[in-house]
Structure formats: C-alpha cells, structure tokens
Amino acid sequence: MSERNQVFLSYAHEDVKWRDEFTLMFGPAIKRGSISLWSDDDIAAGKDWSKNIDQALESARAGLLLVTPHFLTSEFITAVELKRLLTLAKTAGVAIHWVPISPSLYTETPLAAIQASWDPQHPLDQLSVPEQKAAVQQICLQIVEDHGFLPKVTNNRRQSLPGEVQARMGNKYELGEEIGTGTFSIVYEAKQRSPSRTVSVKLFVASEFDDWARLAFVEAMKRAAELTSPAFIKTIEYSMDESPEFLVTEFIRGEPLSKYLLRYPNGVPLATVKSILLDLARAVEEVHWKGWFRGEICSSNVLIEETGAARLSAVDFSTVLSDESQMAGNFLLDRESLAYMTPERFFGQGQNHQTDQYSLGLLAMELLGGERVPRVRSPCDLESKRQLYDDLQSGSGRWARRSPEFAGFVSRLLRIEPKERWPSMRIVRHFLRDIEVDESEEEINRKMAKASYLRLQVGNIERVLFKRFYQNLFSACPDVKGHFTAIDMEQQYKMLNRAIQLLLDFDPARGSQQLRRLASRHASFGLEKWHYDLFRDVLIKAIEESGVNDARHLFAWRQTLTPAVQFMCDCQGAPASADDSPADDSSGDTTFMGIRLRR
C-alpha cells in the first residue's frame, strides 16, 4: 500500500486563483520538506490524468478542499475526488480540511457533517485582502502542524538516519518504516528479535542534547521505569551515549489524539470522553503518588488505541527540555507547546501537581466541544492567552454546553489559580468516575445488541445461532454452499464468532483496521453491496430464530450491524497492506465475515 504522506488539494478550475494562494503559502513548508502538497497542476502534459489522480488519492494523508459553488457543481469533483476522500476518511483515517472560499449550499452535501477549517459564515472571498492572507496562513499552519513532517531534519539527513541507528542497534532489532514524527523526534516501526515482537523506535533528532538535557532525560527514564499504569507506554530500552539518541518502546496501534479529534467535529461521545480522561487521570495520579508531576500534555502526546483506550508516554522530552531550559534562561518552545501552555508557565510560576490538572482540563475541553485549543501563530497571539484563561475558567464555549456535570468538573480543572483547582488527582478521578453521562442512541443500540449476544452464550445457544446462520445463508444463496465442501465447520463457527464481535465493537466515527484488512483481502472476489447486506440480513434472521425475538433488540442489531457492514463494503477497493495477510492461510482459503471462500 502507498505511504500516505501528502495533502491532496481539490479545487474547481474556475477557482485556480485560490489554489495558487494556498500553494504559495505552503511554499516554505514544502521547500523544507515538512509537508508535501499535490494538485492536478502536478500532472505533466501527456500523462494519464485519471491514473495520476488515483495515485495521489492513494497517497493522501489529508484532503484540502477549496469549496465554492463551482466546486460543488463539478461532476468530477463530487463523483470522484470528494466521494473518494470521504470514503478514505472512514476507511483509512484520511483527514478532511474544507475551506469555505465562497458562499455555497454546502449544508446540502456531506460536508455539512464535517467541521470547516474556517467559519462558513465568513467565507474567504468576503474578507478584505489582508484578512484573506491571514486566514490562508492560519489554515495552512494548522495543516502543517497536524500532518506535516518534522521540519528540522534535511532530506539527506532523514535518509541516512535509519542506517546509523540500525548500525548501533546491531542484530537486536530490525528497523522498519517511518511511522510518525514529533516535535523532537522521528518514530520507526521495528522488529525485536528476542522476544519476537513489534516495537517502536524513537530517534531524537530535532536538537543536539546538551549534557544537562541528556542527564535530565536519563533520570526521567529511570523514574518512568517504576510506573505501572496501563495507560503509560512501556519503555523497553534507551541509548543516550551518542547521537542520534533513541528510545525503544512497546508498539501501539492507534492515532494521536490531535488526529482522533478530527473525527468528532462536534465533540467526542460523553462516555468516551469519560473513559479517556479516566485513563489519563489514573496514570497521572500514579506519577503524583511517586512524588513527581508529568508536565504539560499536548494532544499529540496522547495515543488513542482502536479499543478507545488512551496511552501516554511516561516521559515527554519536550517537558524535560522545557523545565531544564527555563533554569538555564532559554525559552525552547514549539508552536504546540505554546498552545497548551498553562497559566503557571505563562506567568512565570513553577509547575506543581495542580499544573497537571490544567493540562487534563485543556484536553477535556477539546474532547467535549470538538474545538481545538487556539494555536499561537505569532507573538501577538500570546496576549490572547489572558482572555482564553478567563473564558475557560468561566465555562465559556461549546464544550461547557455538552453536560452541566462535565462543565463544572472541567471548569475547576481550568481555574487560573492552581490552589483553586481540585485538591489532588485522586479527587479528580473520583469525581470524574461518578459523572453520569447520557448515552447516544448508537451506544444504547450497541449495548443492547451485545447484551442479547451474551445471553446466547448460555448453554451453548450460540452454536444454534451459527448452524441457523449457515442454513439460512445456503437457502438464500445456494451457490455459496459449494464453497463449504470438506470445510471444518467447528473452525467456521469460531471465525463467525470473531466476526460478530468485530461488528459489534465497530465505531463508525473511528473505523476499524481489522475490518478494513478483512475487506481488503476479499476485494478480488468481486463482492457487491448486496453480498454484505445479505450477510447482515441472514445473521439477524438467525439471531431471531435462536431466541432473540424482541423487536427492540432486533432493531438494535440492525442499527449496529448496518454501519459496520457498510464500512466493509466501502473498504473493498482499498489495497491491502503488508500485514493484511490472514492469520491462518495454510489451506489457501480465506474468510469473508466468517464465511470461508475458496480461491
């Protein structure tokens, strides 16, 4: 599968002026290699136009849409580019950044459900020229921050780094592909030989370590080794004796909270907000119990696993560097750190345990409202920090309207005076645990379907379900029965059981890598939407025949299965990645939602 490493710029040819404005603004970031931008202007004369666009979409990390009436009435844009990008947003986590260039009927399109990168009430072409340039700058800076590569490493240096660190690691690890970047690092996937497992290798490359920074980091790592909270990403080893310094940790399949938030423009479901904050609060509480504090946490520091669990690095180099540099009289901060700056740092006060509460409050505000902490684009933006602190403390903002209980809880985390926040992280966790959240209809349906599925486990009733499923399948689609000659049905039942669990756990906003890989492996079978709908209908019929005959529960099953099945249908055209091979393909067969099909 192609590496997703560029921003796909989609625009109507009548709006080429705006394409040029954004391309020009991105110029310095493109030149430094911190971002890659693609538009159809990159297609050379005489080249296959459609093929080039397909390849660019397959390499897209994000889509930048310049929306005007021309854009929305372009048949090619809406039928090909926009449709494909929206599908990739669901199936591959591609981010959508759409910009209201002109007034349009975007509310009649799928874009209405996606937060715009600029207020649609004030389209760019309605602004003065200086305001337009400032808006374009703000939008581009946000995209570079969210999706850009590490800008402080030259391309030549970037290419030589893997060889250097591989030589230092010897045969203990086999370095793989680059999988992410941070303010001070590049992260690679790697294979550890003994024990055999996948790990992450983080190279610190953005600045040279002074002796004080190296010693501070080593001391922080020693402390981190004592932490046991499951939310902390476990450190395997580190090497700080020569450059480039590196850190080896467990490999986490997830995405940064900064990217995860893009899936929820109106705020993350309250139950999920509570779960994520509890994970982080428990972890920070352990740090406090040890007598330390974690330091400011940015949204890019938190990883959200596919299960929804939050994971956090036990040590963040930017925190160590900032703490020590303040003692040395330096002011080493990146743009994201400036955005998440606590009042203590802004007013030059020391950090303490209550400082960690403020950082948790900023993340809670983003989770609840879908609004990002305002970025610092230029020095003058720092002045707005005072007003921001006042607004957050008073409970102003969309986040505070989601839930009165959450609003009160988070507002106290965001008190400007540290002594006015909660007495301890233990108290924070206890109050958070007791907040009651209203579940969405989607969550209620999923719980209801799961509950009825658990009841089918009593006395092996689920075996009746599996048998009826295949009987109904063969009756509805006789041609399928031939694929099951000499097949071990006991193994089939296990596979169907696993497929049902994946479908019940599916979150439409986040997608599922496991379901995506399953669908990708079966693209060659030419499955159509009716095959997926058939599976759903046959399964629901079998569930009803197995004793779940309450209409409300059957409705919950249909509402829960439909988006998961549609997701798999959408994923069919996506190419399989290297790890998409079946877990057990010794027979030469493969599986479709628990149905084993022969090639």
Q: Which domains does the chain carry?
A: 6-147 (3.40.50.10140), 155-250 (3.30.200.20), 255-434 (1.10.510.10), 441-597 (1.10.490.10)
Distances (CA, A) of 186 to 115, 203, 205, 323: 29, 5, 7, 22
Residue whose entry in the numeric block shows the structure tokens 């003058």 = 380
Q: How far apart are the C-alpha atoms of 298 and 598, rounded to whole Å?
A: 48
C-beta atoms surrounding 246 within 10 Å: 24
Q: What is the pLDDT of residue 331?
A: 45
Q: How far apart are the C-alpha atoms of 5 and 147, rounded to whole Å?
A: 8
Q: What is the pLDDT of residue 155?
A: 61
CA 94, 100, 105, 107 dihedral sign is positive
Q: What is the pLDDT of residue 573?
A: 57
pTM: 0.71
Q: What is the pLDDT of residue 589?
A: 43
Structure tokens at 479: 């041609």
Q: What is the pLDDT of residue 415?
A: 96
Nearest to 6 by CA among 25, 34, 27, 32: 34
Residue type, 517: R
Residue whose entry in the numeric block shows the structure tokens 């000659």 = 485
Half-sphere exposure of 49 (CA within 13 A, CB side): 7
Nearest to 190 by CA among 168, 207, 208, 209: 168
Q: How far apart are the C-alpha atoms of 291 and 430, rounded to whole Å?
A: 20
Q: Is 46 left (phi over 0), alpha (psi -120 to 50) or beta?
A: left
Q: What is the pLDDT of residue 389?
A: 94
Q: HEC string of 144-168? A: HHHHCCCCCCCHHHHHHHHHHHHHH
Distances (CA, A) of 91 to 332, 370, 536, 578: 38, 21, 19, 17
CA 565, 509, 297, 96 dihedral sign is positive
Q: What is the pLDDT of residue 532?
A: 86
pLDDT 10s digit of each residue in the chain, 599 long? 445 668 999 999 999 999 999 999 999 888 877 788 998 887 776 677 778 888 888 888 899 999 999 999 999 899 888 988 988 887 877 889 999 999 999 999 989 888 888 989 999 999 999 999 999 998 998 888 777 654 455 566 677 888 888 988 889 999 998 877 766 678 889 999 999 999 999 887 755 556 666 777 788 788 888 889 999 999 898 888 777 788 899 998 888 888 888 778 788 889 899 999 999 999 999 999 988 888 888 888 899 987 789 999 887 655 555 554 444 444 445 677 888 999 998 888 888 899 999 999 999 999 998 778 888 777 788 888 999 999 999 988 889 988 888 999 999 999 999 999 999 999 999 999 999 887 778 888 988 999 988 888 877 777 888 888 888 888 888 777 776 777 777 787 888 888 888 899 888 877 787 888 878 777 666 677 888 888 899 999 999 998 888 899 999 999 999 999 888 888 875 544 444 444 343 333 445 555 544 43
Cα dihedral 130/136/138/141 (nearest 10): -140
Taking only Cα atoms into account, the Rg of the chain, rounded to an integer number of angstroms, comes to: 26
Q: How far apart are the C-alpha atoms of 273 and 114, rounded to whole Å?
A: 19
Q: How far apart are the C-alpha atoms of 57 and 91, rounded to whole Å?
A: 13
Q: Is 11 left (phi over 0), alpha (psi -120 to 50) or beta?
A: beta
Q: How far apart are the C-alpha atoms of 254 and 200, rounded to whole Å?
A: 12
C-beta atoms surrounding 98 within 10 Å: 23
Q: How far apart are the C-alpha atoms of 243 and 275, rounded to whole Å?
A: 39
DSSP label at residue 18: H
DSSP label at residue 438: P
Residue whose entry in the numeric block shows the structure tokens 């020229």 = 129
